[in-house]
Structure 1
Amino acid sequence: MPLRVLPLLVFFVPAIGANLSLWWSQHLGLVPDCNVYLEGCTSISAAGRYEPVIFFFRALIIPTAVLMMLFWRLTCCWLGELGERSRTRLAVMEAIGYVAGLFLILYATFLGSDGDGYRLMRRYGVTVFFAFTYLAQLLATGVLYARLRAGLTDVAPWVVRTMVAGCALMLLGGLASIPAAEWALDRSAANNIIEWNLSGLLMGWFLLAWLAWRQTDFRVRFTTERARRPGRAG
Structure 2
Amino acid sequence: MPADDARIPLWPLPLLIALLFLVAAHAAYLLSIQAGHVPACVPYLEGCVSISRAARHGVGNHLFRLMVMPCAVLHALVWLLAHRWLRGGHGMVVLGVVSATALAVYATFLGIEGETYRFLRRYGVVVYFGFGYLAQLALMRRASRTDALPTRVITWMSWIAAAMLGLGIANVVAGLVVADASAKDRWENVFEWWLGLLMVGWYAVLAIGWRRKRVAARLSSVD
CA distance in 2, matches of 1:119, 1:182: 23
What is the aligned partner in structure 2 of residue 159 from structure 1?
153
Cα pair 1:65 1:104 within 8 Å, conserved:
yes
Code of the residue aligned with 2:38 in structure 1: it is V
Q: Deviation at 1:107?
A: 0.9
Question: Counterpart of 1:120?
Answer: 119
Partner of 2:82: 75
Instruction: Give the TM-score taking structure 2 as reference length.
Output: 0.90
Q: 2:33 aligns with which of 26, 32, 41?
A: 26
Q: Which runs of 5+ in 1 are unaligned?
A: 81-86, 225-234
Specify the alignment match of 1:135 in structure 2.
134
Cα deviation for residue 110 of structure 1 reads 1.1
Per-residue CA distance 1:59-82 (angstroms, 9 max, x = gap): 0011110000000011112222xx
**1:157 Cα deviation from its structure 2 partner:** 2.2
Identify which range, 37-46 or 97-106, moves more after superposition.
Answer: 97-106
Question: C-alpha distance in 1, partners of 2:63/2:82?
Answer: 28
Counterparts of 1:31-180 in structure 2, within 5 Å, are 31-80=38-87, 87=88, 90-147=89-146, 152=147, 155-180=149-174
Aligned AA (2:164): M
1:52 aligned counterpart, secondary structure: helix
SS in 2 for 1:41: coil
The corresponding residue for 2:187 is 190
Distance in 2, matches of 1:214 and 1:42, equals 36
8 Å contact kept, 1:25–1:31: yes
Q: Which amino acid aligns with 2:198?
A: L
Query: Per-residue displacement from partner, 1:166-219 (whole Å, max 9, x unpaired)?
Result: 111111111111121232240000000000001100000001101111111111
Give the number of the structure whose alpha-carbon radius of gyration is greater. 1
8 Å contact from structure 2 (residues 175, 184) kept in 1: yes
Distance 1:18 1:158 in 2: 29
What is the rounded CA distance, in whole Å, between the counterparts of 1:193 and 1:62 in structure 2?
A: 24
Asked which structure has the greater RCO (Cα within 8 Å, sep 6+), the reply is 2
Letter in 1 for 2:156: T
Residue 216 (1) aligns with residue 202 (2): no
Tell me, yes or no, if the aligned pair for 2:150 and 2:213 is still in contact at 8 Å.
Answer: no
Q: 1:4-47, CA deviations, whole angstroms, 9 ceiling, x for partnerless residues?
A: 31011111001110011111111222111000001100000011
Instruction: Tell whether the 8 Å contact from 1:21 to 1:47 is kept in structure 2 after alignment.
Output: yes
The code of the aligned residue for 2:76 comes to M
- Among all aligned residue pairs of Structure 1 and Structure 2, give the percentage whose two residues are the same amino acid: 36
**Maintained 8 Å contact 1:145/1:161:** no
How many residues of Structure 1 are paired with residues of Structure 2 in the alignment?
Answer: 211
CA–CA distance in structure 2, aligned partners of residues 202 and 214 of structure 1: 19
d(CA) in 2 for partners of 1:212, 1:3: 10
Consecutive unaligned residues of structure 2, counting only runs of 5 or more, are: 1-7
